[in-house]
Amino acid sequence: MKTLAIAAATLAFSAAPALAGPEQLPTQKVSTAGIDLATPEGQAMLDRRIERAAREVCQVDAVRTGTRIRAADSVACLAHARASAQRQVATMIEDQRRGG
């Protein structure tokens, strides 16, 4: 079973010391089981799975008290997660096209 790992970059500003270790980025695996990436329907199904996972990882739909505006870091995270997933999907489709 092939999976995609969506890495979400967050633009969190913190008071952590500069010498602290690298921040661990949250990831979400997206299963490609049962999806034929050679078809438009399969690609659309994978896109929906990726979008759902990216929104969850980036907490885009999290309720924020006092505003309906999405947090800028969540929006940036979502854009980064989508771009990361697109690169991975393109590689997977190319590998599948080549018979890999």
Tokens in use for 58?
Answer: 């980036």
Angle at 7 between CA 72 and CA 2, to 5 degrees: 145
Distance (Å, whole) CA 98 – CA 61 = 38
pLDDT along the chain (100 residues), means of 10: 53 34 69 84 91 88 73 84 87 80
Beta strand 27-31 with 3-7: parallel, antiparallel or unpaired? Answer: antiparallel
Distance (Å, whole) CA 85 – CA 63 = 25
Considering just the CA atoms, what is the radius of gyration of the chain in Å?
16
